[in-house]
Structure 1
C-alpha cells in the first residue's frame, strides 16, 4: 500500500500532515473509540484490555506495537487453564511490531492474519505456538530472527487451513524446526536472506516453495513431506540440506538452482519422482528410492555411493536449461558457479556400494567416478555420450620413452598407477576416495563394465575395458609366473589382441627378419641337378640306375642381391598365408620357413582380430 493511500478500514489518522503524510496512523479504531490501540489513552487502554477474555477475537490492523504494548495485549488474553495466551480471530494486517514480538506458546483458535506485517525488532518468535486455522503471513517482513520452532499449523474444523508465507521476507535467520503444518504450507516467492531452518518439520499436506529464494543455507534435515512438494524455480545461493528427509508422495522436486550442494544423503522417496537440479554438487549417499525415479541435472558432480533403489532409476545430464511450467527457462545467470564459460556437464563421483541392476546413466562424465564395490555392475546401462578418463599421452623426454595405449581408463587405475614408485607423469593421483583399490579389485570392475558395453552393442568400448581387465591381471600380485609370461607376450605382440598396429608392426619385423635370414642362409645357390648312378653288366642284360639329387648349397658369393631378395620375399609372403613357395631352400632355410609359417600367420590373425574388435557393433 502506498503511503498516500488510506487503508480500507476506519483508521486512527494520528500525526496526519496534509503535506508530509495525509493519512497518518493507519491503525484501526478500537471499538467504541476513534483512535487505534497505540494512541488510546492509558485509562481507555486499560479498560479495553480488562474487557478482553481468552479466546476473544482482536482486530488491530495497521497498529504500531511496541514490545510493552504487545505484551500487555497478550497478557489480557492469558488463559489460566492452559497458562498461555489464547486468541480468536486475529487481524494484524499491515501492523508494525517494534522490539521483540514474542508470540511463543500462543494459541490461535481461529484465523491469524499477519499479512504485510513488519517485524522490525531483533526477534519475532512463534515457538510452540498453535494455529488451529489458517495463518497468513503473506508479504510479511521479518527484519530480525524469525522463530517458529515446534509451532503447529493445524487444519481448521471445516477441514481446511493453511500456513501462508507467500512473498514474505526474512532478513535474518528463519527457524521452523519441529514445526508441524497440518494444512497447506505456502512459501511461494518468499525470500530468506539469512539461513532457513526446517529441521524435523512435518508437512502433512502440500508444501510449496515455488520461486522462493534462499540466500543462505536452507536446512530441511529430518523433515517429512507427506504431500506434494513444490520447489519449482526455487533458488539456493548456499547449500540445500535435505539430509534424512522423507518424501512420502512427492512427484517432482524442482527444477531448482543451487550454487552450493543439494544434500539428499539418507533421504527416502516413497513414490515415483523426478528430480531436476542445476547445482554445483548433488550428494545422494545412502538415499533410498522405493519406486521409479529420474534425476535430471546440469553442472552437478554427483556422489551416489551406497544409494538404494529397487526399481529403474535414471541419472541424465540435461543439455539445455530446464523449462518451467510457464514455458520459461530456469534462471541460471545470477549464480557464479553457473557463470561463463558455461559447462553444463554432469560428473559422477562415486557409485560405490550401489546395486546397479536397475541403474541407467545417460550423457554423464564418468572420468572421476569410483566403481570399485559396485554390485551387478555388468547390468549397468550406459546411454548417450558417457565419457571416461583416458591414459596419459606419450612421454618422450625420459629414457626409455613411454607411450601408453589410448583407451578408456577408470579413475581408480589412475590413482593406483600414480601411486606406484617411478610413476610416469600424467596419471592422476588426486582421485578423492579412491583408497587402496589395486589390480585385484579393479580387474572384476573392468570385466563387469566390459560385459555392460557388450550388452549395449558397443564393442569398441568393450574392447577398452577388456584391455583394462587384462592389464590389471598382468599387474596382479597373485598371478603365477607362467601365466604372467603368457600375458606379457600377449600384451607385447598385439595388445591383448586389440592393437592391430602392434601386431602388424611385429608381423613386418618378422617378415623382414625372415627375408634377411633366407637371403643369408636359406636360399640355394643353384637349382640342384638330378644325377643317375648305376652299373652296366659286361655280359648284357638288365641296366640299373639310381636317380638322386644333390642337397641345395648356400651361395658362396654375394648373397644380398636383388634376385635373392625377390626369392626370399616370395617365400616369406607365402609363409604368411600357409602356402609353399616351391623355392629350393637349404636345410637352414627349411627351418626358417617352418618358423615363419608358424609365427607370421598368427601375427596376421591377431591384427585382423584387433581390427574387427574396433569396427564391429
Structure 2
C-alpha cells in the first residue's frame, strides 16, 4: 500500500525514513540511531509516522527532547500518525506542541499522565489495545474521533479546552473523574463497561443523547454549567447522579433506566421538565428543583424524601408506581397523579392535590395541614369491613402496641374528613367520621362514660352511618316491646298481631284506633308506650341520617 510518506527501504515496513537515511528509526543500525537521538534537543520536531517503536526507543526519544536543566521533555511538532507502539509507551509529563497520533496503534499499555498538548493534538482513529491513562493531561484542542479504547481508560483530572469524542469506542472501563471540559463535548458510541464522570465539570454543552451505558454510570458531584442532553439514552445498570448540579437546561426525555437511578442531593436550577423516563427505582432524595417541574416517570419505586420543589411540581407517575413523599417540600401548588403514595409524614400538604392516587399504604402521621389536602378522582384507601381506613389504623389493629395509637389516628381522620367535606365527597367523609369515632371509642384517654355512650352509639346505628343496623335495632325493639305489651301492657288479653300494630304505630307517634284493643293501659304499658315514642323516632332518624350520609354529594 502506498503511504503519504517515504517509507523504510525494508520490505513490508511502513515506517517513515529518517532524514538522510533510507530506513526508519527501528531499522537503523545502532550507531545511526545514536546519531539520530544526538541530533534532537528540547522542542525538536520529530516525524515517526508508521514506525514501530519499542519501549526502549520511546524512552530514548523522550530523553532526547528533554533538557539538561531538568525541565520536562518538550516536542515541537510531533508526527506519530500510524505509529505502532508494540510495548509500554511512557509519555508522562511530556509537552507536545501539535502532537499528531492519528491512526496510531498502542498494542501495550500507554500513559500520557500530566502531559500537555499546547497547540492541539489528534488521536483520530487511533487504537488502544491495553490500558491507557491520560490523568492530569491538559488538552488545548484534541480529537479522539473514531478512536478505540479496548482496555481500561482513565482521564481523571484532565482538562479539555476543546475535545471531540464523536464515535469514540470505549470497550473497557472508563473514568473521567474530576475532568474539566471548557467547551462543548459529546459522546455517541456508548460505554459497554463501568464509566465514571464523578466531580466532572462541563462548562459547555454536554451531549449523551442516545448513548447506551451497559455498565454502571456515575456522575456523582458532576457540574453541568450549560445544557446537558441524555435524551434517548439507555442505562442497563445502576446510575448515580448524586449531588450533581444542572445549572442549564437538561433533557432526560425517553431515557430508560433498567435498574436504579439516583439523583439524591442533585440541584436542577432552570430545568422545568424531567422525563418521560422508565426506571426500576427513581431516587430524588434531598434533590432541589428551583423551577416549577413536570416529572413524568414510570418506576415501581420513586423516592422523594426531603426533596425540595421550590415552585411546585406535577408528579405524573402512573398506577404502578409507589412514591415516598416523606418530608417533601412543596413551595407552591403541586399535583401527584396516578401513583400510590407510601408516606407524607413530615410534609406540609396544604398546597398538594392527589389525583387518582392509591393511598392504601400511605402513612399520614406527622403530616402538616392534612385538612387542606385535596383528593380528586379515584383516590383509593385501604378497606376494613367495607369502609375506607388509613394504613395507621390497619397497623394498630394488627399490633395494639403500634407507634401510632388511637388518639393520633382519630386526629388524622378528623383532618382528612374535613378535606373530604371540602371536596364535596360526603361518602368518603362519612367513612373518616366512622374511623374517628372508632378511635375515640378505643382510645384509653377517652373518659369511661363517653366510651359507654360511644359503644351504644356504635352498637345501635354504627355512629349514625349504618342504616341496616339502626333498622335491625328498631325491629328488635318493636318485637321485645310487643311481647312485653302482650304480657303486661293492657288490662286485658289482646292478640299478638294487634299488639304489634299498636306498638309500631306508637313508634311513629301515631294514635291507635284498633277497637279490639283494651282502652286502658297498665302502668307498665304507659312506660313502654312512652319509651317507644322516644326511641322509635330516634332510631328512624338514625336510619334516615345513615342513608343521607351515603347518598349525599
- Pair 577,491 (structure 1): closer, same or farther in 2 beyond 3 Å: same
Task: Determine helix, strand or coil for the equivalent of 1:115.
Answer: coil
Q: Unpaired segments of 5 or more residues in structure 2?
A: 9-13, 16-24, 26-44, 67-72, 99-112
Offset of 1:414 from its aligned partner?
0.8
Provide the rounded CA distance (Å) in 2 between the counterparts of 1:152 and 1:140: 18
Q: Does residue 36 in structure 1 map to residue 50 in structure 2?
A: yes
Listed one character per residue, the Cα deviations across residues 401-454 of structure 1 (whole Å, up to 9, x for unaligned) are xxxx42001111111111139xxxxxxxxxxxxx51110110110111111111
Provide the rounded CA distance (Å) in 2 between the counterparts of 1:306 and 1:12: 72
1:411 paired residue among 384, 391, 415 = 391
Equivalent pair of 2:114/2:135 in contact (CA under 8 Å): no
State the match for 2:506 in structure 1. 575
1:344-423 equivalence runs, <5 A: 346-391=339-384, 405-420=385-400
Q: Unpaired segments of 5 or more residues in structure 1?
A: 1-5, 15-23, 155-160, 318-345, 392-404, 422-434, 524-552
The farther-off stretch of 296-305 and 596-605 is 296-305
Equivalent pair of 1:143/1:171 in contact (CA under 8 Å): yes
State the match for 1:138 in structure 2. 166
Q: Does residue 127 in structure 1 map to residue 156 in structure 2?
A: yes
Equivalent pair of 2:77/2:97 in contact (CA under 8 Å): no
- Pair 273,10 (structure 1): closer, same or farther in 2 beyond 3 Å: farther
- Pair 255,57 (structure 1): closer, same or farther in 2 beyond 3 Å: farther
Equivalent pair of 1:113/1:137 in contact (CA under 8 Å): yes
Listed one character per residue, the Cα deviations across residues 252-288 of structure 1 (whole Å, up to 9, x for unaligned) are 11111112x2111000001011111111211111001
1:516 paired residue among 483, 487, 508 = 483
1:294 paired residue among 309, 314, 336 = 314
Equivalent pair of 1:58/1:90 in contact (CA under 8 Å): no
1:542-561 equivalence runs, <5 A: 553-555=491-493, 559=494, 561=495
Aligned residues: 496
Task: Determine helix, strand or coil for the equivalent of 2:378.
Answer: coil
1:100 paired residue among 114, 128, 131 = 131
Offset of 1:115 from its aligned partner?
2.0
1:182 paired residue among 196, 203, 213 = 203
Provide the rounded CA distance (Å) in 2 between the counterparts of 1:305 and 1:297: 16
Q: Does residue 594 in structure 1 map to residue 525 in structure 2?
A: no
Q: Does residue 275 in structure 1 map to residue 295 in structure 2?
A: yes
Provide the rounded CA distance (Å) in 2 between the counterparts of 1:383 and 1:212: 35
Q: Does residue 452 in structure 1 map to residue 411 in structure 2?
A: no
1:251-270 equivalence runs, <5 A: 251-259=272-280, 261-270=281-290
Task: Determine helix, strand or coil for the equivalent of 2:279.
Answer: strand
Provide the rounded CA distance (Å) in 1 between the counterparts of 2:325 and 2:258: 23
Equivalent pair of 1:145/1:174 in contact (CA under 8 Å): yes
Offset of 1:368 from its aligned partner?
0.6
State the match for 1:75 in structure 2. 94
Provide the rounded CA distance (Å) in 2 between the counterparts of 1:215 and 1:497: 57
Task: Determine helix, strand or coil for the equivalent of 1:144.
Answer: coil
Q: Does residue 151 in structure 1 map to residue 151 in structure 2?
A: no
Equivalent pair of 2:48/2:79 in contact (CA under 8 Å): no
- Pair 517,47 (structure 1): closer, same or farther in 2 beyond 3 Å: closer
Equivalent pair of 2:94/2:114 in contact (CA under 8 Å): no
Provide the rounded CA distance (Å) in 1 between the counterparts of 2:440 and 2:407: 7
Provide the rounded CA distance (Å) in 1 between the counterparts of 2:82 and 2:469: 87
Task: Determine helix, strand or coil for the equivalent of 1:595.
Answer: helix
Provide the rounded CA distance (Å) in 2 between the counterparts of 1:439 and 1:186: 55
Provide the rounded CA distance (Å) in 2 between the counterparts of 1:59 and 1:269: 50
1:216 paired residue among 237, 241, 254 = 237
1:3-42 equivalence runs, <5 A: 35-36=49-50
State the match for 1:608 in structure 2. 544
Task: Determine helix, strand or coil for the equivalent of 1:349.
Answer: strand
Provide the rounded CA distance (Å) in 2 between the counterparts of 1:219 and 1:196: 6
Provide the rounded CA distance (Å) in 2 between the counterparts of 1:367 and 1:43: 73
Provide the rounded CA distance (Å) in 2 between the counterparts of 1:250 and 1:410: 36
Equivalent pair of 1:271/1:290 in contact (CA under 8 Å): yes
Equivalent pair of 1:149/1:178 in contact (CA under 8 Å): yes
Offset of 1:32 from its aligned partner?
9.3
State the match for 1:545 in structure 2. none
Task: Determine helix, strand or coil for the equivalent of 1:575.
Answer: helix
Provide the rounded CA distance (Å) in 2 between the counterparts of 1:230 and 1:257: 14
Listed one character per residue, the Cα deviations across residues 35-72 of structure 1 (whole Å, up to 9, x for unaligned) are 43557999899779967986967776776656734x33
Equivalent pair of 2:91/2:115 in contact (CA under 8 Å): no
Equivalent pair of 1:66/1:98 in contact (CA under 8 Å): no
Provide the rounded CA distance (Å) in 1 between the counterparts of 2:335 and 2:285: 17
Offset of 1:377 from its aligned partner?
0.5
Task: Determine helix, strand or coil for the equivalent of 1:356.
Answer: coil
Provide the rounded CA distance (Å) in 1 between the counterparts of 2:63 and 2:232: 41
State the match for 1:86 in structure 2. 117
Q: Does residue 565 in structure 1 map to residue 532 in structure 2?
A: no
Equivalent pair of 2:180/2:201 in contact (CA under 8 Å): yes
Task: Determine helix, strand or coil for the equivalent of 2:354.
Answer: strand
Offset of 1:290 from its aligned partner?
0.8
- Pair 61,484 (structure 1): closer, same or farther in 2 beyond 3 Å: farther
Provide the rounded CA distance (Å) in 2 between the counterparts of 1:221 and 1:12: 54
C-alpha RMSD of the superposition: 3.3
Offset of 1:606 from its aligned partner?
0.1
Provide the rounded CA distance (Å) in 1 between the counterparts of 2:6 and 2:478: 109
State the match for 1:533 in structure 2. none
